Structure 1
């Protein structure tokens, strides 16, 4: 057994040949004390490894590399909404988790802008995030606007209707409204506004600087 104990540190480091690995595995399975010694060595080895925390951008890209993360459910709807491929839709949904994607033009109102596909090249496309109790300002649609609720609940203060995740809001050209975030969690929705919107009579068009 003393020979096996000498092999334990090398077992933890993965430095044994297959025959020696099997020898240690059988010995540990048969001896609880030896198993405890191996566990203690493994804990010590893990403590020597400094954990690496990825930057927010790297973290978001890692999430997008495995799909749209928690928003995968909306990937197909997003693809249709913006006339983009499913792969591109997942990339766009990955922007939600990237803090550097967002700009904050007003307190409690955060925006991400991006280009739609060929069918919506003239539309303003992006995500809107509202903090709890925050309203997106009263605005007029210069063309049809379609919004897809992704997280939280929003209330249209013109109609009083409340929308939740998966709901779509379709507003005609020249219509006016404002929406407010209901509940205790932020609200996120994807919006496609043909020809943009105007606030207080002034057209509002975003700058696009995201991939």
Structure 2
């Protein structure tokens, strides 16, 4: 199930921490789609609580569940390119991509920057030993502040839209190279969270405003 549906379910059950619940409440109140999804989840939970025997979900709910499960393969069109990007075999890469089904503290570095979550893993043998490889998840509207790259960085957009401070916007399938010494900031724009793959050499340092 998608991370958003998981969060809505946890919200409906009242098991989110106060900070996350408050943030999600604002998102729900500003999105008719999220309100509808939450209502469906709450209705399903009520039916489950009252049921004395297995239930057959409504066609609408069944479709929503099926679409959520399909999140596991939402990046299937990029897998071959990502295998080259990270120098990893298909199975290993697909295992890493499943982490996007549920962004949690078990596997992710949560709130590395405001609204930004990081998932780290090792690249293949042809990736530089000092490279930091992984996935970056930036919630809509959030930014990664201006920073300088100490080495080269490659980013591959998988979902959402990445807007640079120079106004350039990158979309799923775009691959961006930033050379050592380059300075930039980026923002997640659009309705969906920004998700991109990254290979970062030598790290980065934030630039004082």
Report what 1:96 is aligned to.
Answer: 100
Report what 2:192 is aligned to.
Answer: 185
Which of 180, 193, 204 is the aligned partner of 1:197? Answer: 204
The one-character-per-residue Cα deviations of 1:140-197 (angstroms, maximum 9, x if unpaired) are 111110000010001111x321001111111111111011111222111111111222
Which of 125, 129, 137 is the aligned partner of 1:118? Answer: 125
Query: Unaligned regions of 5+ residues in structure 2, if any?
Result: 1-50, 57-68
The whole-number CA distance in structure 2 between the counterparts of 1:68 and 1:193 is 25
The whole-number CA distance in structure 2 between the counterparts of 1:106 and 1:72 is 28
Report what 2:81 is aligned to.
Answer: 77
Cα contact 2:113–2:144 (8 A) shared by 1: no
**Alignment length, in residue pairs?**
142
1:48 pairs with 2:56: no
Cα contact 1:149–1:167 (8 A) shared by 2: yes
For the residue of structure 1 that corresponds to 2:126, the secondary structure is: helix
RMSD: 2.4
Give the TM-score of the pair, scaled to structure 1.
Answer: 0.61
The whole-number CA distance in structure 2 between the counterparts of 1:167 and 1:47 is 51
Query: Unaligned regions of 5+ residues in structure 1, if any?
Result: 1-45, 52-62, 202-211
Give the TM-score of the pair, scaled to structure 2.
Answer: 0.62
The whole-number CA distance in structure 1 between the counterparts of 2:72 and 2:193 is 19
Larger radius of gyration: 1
